[in-house]
Amino acid sequence: MATCPRCKGHLTDSHKCPRRRTIVAAEIAASALAGGFAGLLLLAVFDPREQITGVESILVVGAGALVCIGITRAARG
């Protein structure tokens, strides 16, 4: 069977080379930033009068980032 000259994978009719690591890392970072910002916005909308401490904001941003990364990676396949 023939191999792809770029990625050395099996060269079939439906072959697609895997994405570069930098592009995958950039997608994950962008997804994490969007999820973190969305988590912070949701906290501000649902709890506008409460004083937000540093620990709470870190937890909310982190949880939003992880959820958004999980959704993005699951949707990608």
Task: Count up the domains in the chain and report the number.
Answer: 1
Q: pTM for this one?
A: 0.65
Query: CA–CA separation, 57 vs 62, rounded Å?
Result: 8
| pLDDT confidence of residue 4 | 84
Q: Is residue 51 part of a domain?
A: yes
Query: CA–CA separation, 31 vs 25, rounded Å?
Result: 10
Domain range for 43 is: 21-76
| pLDDT confidence of residue 77 | 59
Q: Is residue 5 part of a domain?
A: no
Q: Is residue 14 part of a domain?
A: no
Q: Is residue 1 part of a domain?
A: no
pLDDT tens, per residue, the chain with 77 residues = 788 888 777 888 888 887 788 887 888 888 888 888 888 888 888 877 777 778 888 888 888 888 988 888 888 75
Q: Is residue 54 part of a domain?
A: yes
Interacting residues of 33 by C-beta distance below 8 A, sequence separation 6+: 65
